[in-house]
Amino acid sequence: MNGPHTHFRAPADHFLNRELSLLAFNRRVLAQAADARVPLLERLRFLCIVSSNLDEFFEIRVAGLKEQIKLGGQSTGFDGMPPHDVFRRVTREAHALIAEQYSLLNQTILPALAAEGIRFFKRATWTPEQANWIRDFFFREVMPVLTPIGLDPAHPFPRVLNKSLNFAVELEGRDAFGRAGGAAIVQAPRALPRVIQLPKELTGVDWGFVFLSSILHRHVGELFAGMNILGCYQFRVTRNSDLWVDDEEVKNLRTALQGELPQRHFGDAVRLEVADNCSETMADFLLQQFGLESADLYRVPGIVNLVRLMSVPDRVERPDLKYAPFQPGLPKAITKRPQIFDVMRREDVLLHHPFQSFAPVIQMLEQAADDPNVVAIKMTVYRTGTDSVLLQHLVRAAQKGKEVTVVVELMARFDEEANLNIAARLEEVGAHVVYGVFGYKTHAKMLMVLRREEGGYRRYIHLGTGNYHPRTTRFYTDFGLLTCNEEIAADVNEVFKQLTGLGKAGALKHLWQAPFTLHDNMIAAIRAETAAAKAGGKGQITAKMNSLLEPEVIEALYEASQAGVQIDLMVRGVCALRPGVKGLSDNIRVRSVIGRFLEHHRIFHFHANGEDKVYLGSADWMERNFFRRIEVVFPVLEPRLKRRVLKEGLRLYLHDNSQSWDMDKDGQYAIHPSRRIRACAQEALLALMAAED
């Protein structure tokens, strides 16, 4: 099967709802913010991560639901729940989750921070000295960039940017032109900081902050001279941010995307957040302006954008309130030899981030750029960052005359603009930039260096489960494989040929590739375990991923369970499979690990009659990964490295009783019961591979 299963249908009660499962994941993240064992500033960071996750949830998932409802769609997901019902349940759960989030912030985290000398000063508590400093700041830094907009027939309601901070102001009186007051909108430019630090001598604490929203609220009258301010309310609107490009009409993906990106800020509204002091009249007025219903209104007791607090842990120099720093380790083979290609010729190297450094990958590209024997470099870019050191090495390689080919995924969600800039920079220096295959996101993580050596050319390969983004490698768990295995290198070369040229897909010896063989091979591997169990042998599957949604894989796992295959799944986020259902999935266990690092690697282990087949990749068990993306899943062939993956990536996590949540058949999660001896996979991996900073 080389396409999605449009006619596949299984009983609806076999599946859990995707949107509700995603909200359940955010509850587990919020639990980190509530956990007193987590350092205080890290708890604040987790609280902010929940807000960031929810923003994307509304921008993409809720926006999609609303679109379905608007178009009158009655189609359901595999769980059988109609869009209207999903939206009602999602709305109820989201309101409850956000209420808990603000309660935790106001009643627990902010008081605990204040006790540590980290205070956020509210308007009502400002001393005269603080008020004077803030007033000077307003007139010097804030007022010059504000443009108040009075609402009347000549000034319609302004276009409000997605997720921007705004104020709705109720006024009375008459202005210089005799116009009667009513309402006005004040938009806070994104250039202004949302959290401002006050001088220590004014606060009596080491770290005193005030919110931009408080400053604007106090001084909003300065923008409407002679008018009486009846009310001032901060608000924020979240909009549909999913980009859509018509594959039948588009002639140039890059040009089409450049035209589409600016509209992301002004998509259909899907959520309105207001401060809890907002009047009913103003709330109703705003809902009407944005075409929203009362269910879309979220009243919050505090600032309307908690993501803005994300900068505070980095700004506050209190290492005792943060996770202990560490220095990522290096494999011994790398430390012994300075030349990465010498190391790779001798042995395959497995890197386990963030416990081990990403530096060898950077080193590989850096040495390739400078090595006169290197003739070509090929690489995929999904997310890397515009200031990436990897980009600098690619640019330098192209400037030195190497054949540099980069497959840039322009449709990497929320990284489209950065990737457009990367593409332009590479083209400026003569690199070949291609955008993969239209209609399929290039999600595979591949780097290939072609080097002229005695006897011909040799290909050096890096394959990874995570992005080529040096910053995220410090807090995402991922595996990377450095190898010059000729058969794997030939497979990687074949995939690059597909991405840059035209022609039939050639057969691959080791890699499983989406959209061609990955789904079929994964199903076949599951069924092989089923057959082994039915024949009286041992059937065992252990897999780790971000999301599990694809129904045929789920049904194959159910069949395996019924045959007696023991299945352990570690799914960090969304999971539609129901574990532990009598007669259906008795032998399936699902857990989710949430901790200091974002669990990101995808690992697939099949017992295979004692052969222990182990695969790594960047593909989750989702329809999009199997059928709408270009993915590669690669085997770990070297026995020593295979044992490392089984230990570090799977077994330590299966024994985790500190950050592990067990899932039940209804999609509810409970923290894994802790035994007398505490086991934490991430801490164990830090102790095993990383050095203290």
- The CATH number that applies at residue 580 is 3.30.870.10
The whole-number average pLDDT for the span 434-446 is 84
Predicted local distance difference test score (pLDDT) of residue 243: 47
Angle, helices 63-70/83-104, rounded to nearest 10 degrees = 150
Q: How far apart are CA 237 and CA 270, in angstroms?
A: 8
Q: Final residue of a domain: which of 282, 297, 321?
A: 321
Domain membership of residue 2 (yes or no) is no
Domain membership of residue 233 (yes or no) is yes
Query: Does 672 participate in catalysis according to the annotation?
Result: no
Domain membership of residue 6 (yes or no) is no
The answer on 331 and 316 residing in a single domain is: no
Average pLDDT over the chain reads 90
Q: Final residue of a domain: which of 463, 479, 505?
A: 505
Predicted local distance difference test score (pLDDT) of residue 244: 47
If one counts every other C-beta atom within 10 angstroms of the C-beta of residue 157, the result is 14
- pLDDT of 412 strictly over 70: no
Domain membership of residue 5 (yes or no) is no
The answer on 351 and 307 residing in a single domain is: no
* E runs forming strands in 111-227: 118-120, 149-150, 166-172, 183-187, 195-198, 207-211
The answer on 518 and 500 residing in a single domain is: no
Q: How far apart are CA 461 and CA 447, in angstroms?
A: 6
Predicted local distance difference test score (pLDDT) of residue 690: 83
The answer on 332 and 312 residing in a single domain is: no
The answer on 534 and 489 residing in a single domain is: no
Which of the residues 14, 352, 393, 443 is marked catalytic?
Answer: 443
The answer on 165 and 286 residing in a single domain is: yes
Alpha helix positions (H), 220-311: 253-260, 280-290
Which of 177, 216, 479 is CA-nearest to residue 353? 479
- pLDDT of 8 strictly over 60: yes
**Model pLDDT for residues 24-56, shown as the tens digit of each residue:** 999 999 999 999 999 999 999 999 999 999 999
**Model pLDDT for residues 242-268, shown as the tens digit of each residue:** 744 444 444 444 454 444 444 544 578
648 is in which domain, residue-wise?
513-692
**Model pLDDT for residues 630-642, shown as the tens digit of each residue:** 999 999 999 999 9
Predicted local distance difference test score (pLDDT) of residue 155: 59
Q: How far apart are CA 476 and CA 596, in angstroms?
A: 9
Query: How many domains does one find in the chain?
Result: 3
Predicted local distance difference test score (pLDDT) of residue 693: 45
User: pLDDT band at 131, cuts 50/70/90?
Assistant: very high
- pLDDT of 387 strictly over 70: no
The answer on 686 and 596 residing in a single domain is: yes
Whether the CB-CB separation of 283 and 300 falls below 8 Å is answered with no
The answer on 540 and 460 residing in a single domain is: no
Whole-number CA gyration radius for the chain: 27
Predicted local distance difference test score (pLDDT) of residue 254: 47
Predicted local distance difference test score (pLDDT) of residue 2: 45
Domain membership of residue 85 (yes or no) is yes
User: pLDDT band at 402, cuts 50/70/90?
Assistant: very high
Domain membership of residue 391 (yes or no) is yes
Tracing tokens 């008795």 back to the chain, one arrives at: 586
The answer on 638 and 550 residing in a single domain is: yes
Predicted local distance difference test score (pLDDT) of residue 416: 56
The answer on 523 and 395 residing in a single domain is: no
Residue type, 32: Q
Which of 92, 105, 111 is CA-nearest to residue 30? 105
The answer on 448 and 420 residing in a single domain is: yes
- pLDDT of 421 strictly over 80: no
Which of 380, 343, 368, 347 is CA-nearest to residue 617? 380
